[in-house]
Structure formats: structure tokens, C-alpha cells
Amino acid sequence: MAVNDGVVAPVIHNAHKADLGEIAARRGDLTGRARTGKLRPQDIAGGTFTISNLGMFGVDAFTAIITSPQAAILAVGRIADQVVPVDGRPGIRPMMTLTLSSDHRVVDGVRPPNFFGTSQRRLATPSNGSAEWLEVLGLEARLWR
């Protein structure tokens, strides 16, 4: 997240056990502490997966670089209306580009496509849990310390 003197990536520990409301609350707390310079060492340590959103700055797509020792990073582009096929006819739908970079020493090559399939289902029919989404990358509790 952007702060006055750069960018910092606080960690939401045990996100796989939290519902969306809990994740949002933890993110709000971390954002407040980051912007006031009050993050603790444990707030930035132990991450395994990062979400980087440049869509809010009008960026359509980008490739994010993994911060070692994390397993993967998801780059989120802006949501914009695009012409797409709808029932065999042109239609306008809000679309966004997601780009996943993963470290193949940690995540084997079959998990990223599964992650995107799960992501598409989750975005189409959201629920409160986050575990299914993260576990598809193999980021089970062993990685969420």
C-alpha cells in the first residue's frame, strides 16, 4: 500500500481462516498503522501471497514482481467496460485483467490455472470464506505462520 515515503506490504496473517469482513477489518487496521508509521515488525513479516492493485490508478494490466520469500503475487488491473460476446451477440460488460506471478520452487505449474478457475467462480458468486481460494494455490496453513 502507498504511504508517504514509498510502498509497504503489511501481512494479513491467517487470512485463509478469515472471512471477507475479518480481512477487511484487519486491512483497515494495518492501513491506519502504515499511514501513521506505526507498523510493527510482525506486521510485515511472514507473507506468502500478495495482491497488488494498480487498477485504482487506471492501469489496465501489469506484471507484479514476487517479493522473496513469498510464493505468488496477483496483479489486479482496473475494471472497465468492454465489448464481449453475450449470448452470441456483442454486449458491454465490466472486465478486469488479473495477472499471477508465482515462484515455481514453491508453487507447481498446475496450481496457477486452478487458481484462476477458482477466482473466476468466486468473483461470479462471492461467499464469505477465503480458504478455498487460497488453498487452490497450495497455500495451506503450513505457509500461513
E strand segments, 42-106: 49-53, 72-76, 80-86, 89-95, 98-102
Cα radius of gyration (the chain): 16
Do you find a cis peptide bond into 41, omega within 30 degrees of 0?
A: no
Among candidates 106, 96, 113, which has minimal Cα distance to 72? 106
Asked whether the beta carbons of 42 and 73 are under 8 A apart, the reply is: no
Cell 496453513 identifies what position?
A: 141
Helix (H) or strand (E) holding 122: helix 111-124
Report how far Cα 78 is from the mean position of its chain's Cα atoms.
Answer: 14
Residues known to be catalytic: 104, 108
